[in-house]
Amino acid sequence: MNSSEQQQGMVRIAVVDSDPLRFVGFRALLSAESDFDLQSVSLAEIALHPDIDVVLLGSHPGKNVIELLNNIRALRLRLNVIVTGCNMDDAAILRAVAAGAKGCVDESGSVAEIVRAIRIVHSGSVWAPRRVLAKFVEQTYKSQGVGACLGVRQFTMREKEVLNMLVAGCSNKEIAAPLGIEERTVKAHVAKLMRKVGVPNRVMLSVHAITHSLVPNMQC
């Protein structure tokens, strides 16, 4: 593999934290992941780094998480942000997810959990405790005037396979290859699943599938 191909396969992670020691800590924790490229970036510099894939967002004195997320969204609307912290309660996690965070991890958790969270979020899904995601789905449905318990049409076997792998954090390409189908076919299956479940995007599809136990625990 040449250097260009290696760069394309890298997951570029920005540690955005007021304490520079947090970057040192994350770099040490994630050093075994050869495809992780970590860099320390200030909140104001995010717009100058269009190649960032995932942000690990830490604390900033004088600003709460919601303010920080709003600032990031103003600079890079669709940037994948994982809020990091210690002993975050369900309410704090729920507020962060509702404000646009794609994940929340406890810094006291295992390295494997942090790695998994980064990979899941990088793939386009959401990482948070199931009980919190269930509350998020319920609140989203209520805000849209939809009942929390939607009737789900029966899935085909292929739709179940696609959904299982989607929830596991697999990309369209990673879903297509083992199933022997084209990426555009995967996109069509995902679109049909969203219509059946009644959600607007693949993130909500994953969250709904997790919280309603529509899929087993799987990995790519």
Is 115 domain-assigned? yes
Is 140 domain-assigned? no
Average pLDDT score, the chain: 83
Question: What pLDDT does 197 receive?
Answer: 84
Are 122 and 78 in the same domain? yes
Are 13 and 121 in the same domain? yes
Question: What pLDDT does 219 receive?
Answer: 45
Question: What pLDDT does 147 receive?
Answer: 45
Question: What pLDDT does 54 receive?
Answer: 96
Per-residue pLDDT tens over the stretch 75-110: 887 789 999 988 788 888 888 887 888 889 988 889
Are 106 and 174 in the same domain? no
| Residue 20 CA neighbour count, 13 Å, CB half | 0
Between these two residues, 207 and 13, which has the higher pLDDT value? Answer: 13
Between these two residues, 13 and 87, which has the higher pLDDT value? Answer: 13
Provide the CATH number for the domain around residue 104.
Answer: 3.40.50.2300
Between these two residues, 167 and 25, which has the higher pLDDT value? Answer: 25
Domain of residue 177: give its range: 148-211
Are 115 and 161 in the same domain? no
* Number of domains the chain contains: 2
Per-residue pLDDT tens over the stretch 181-220: 999 999 999 999 988 888 877 877 887 787 777 766 544 5
pLDDT band at 171; cut points 50, 70, 90: confident
Are 42 and 83 in the same domain? yes
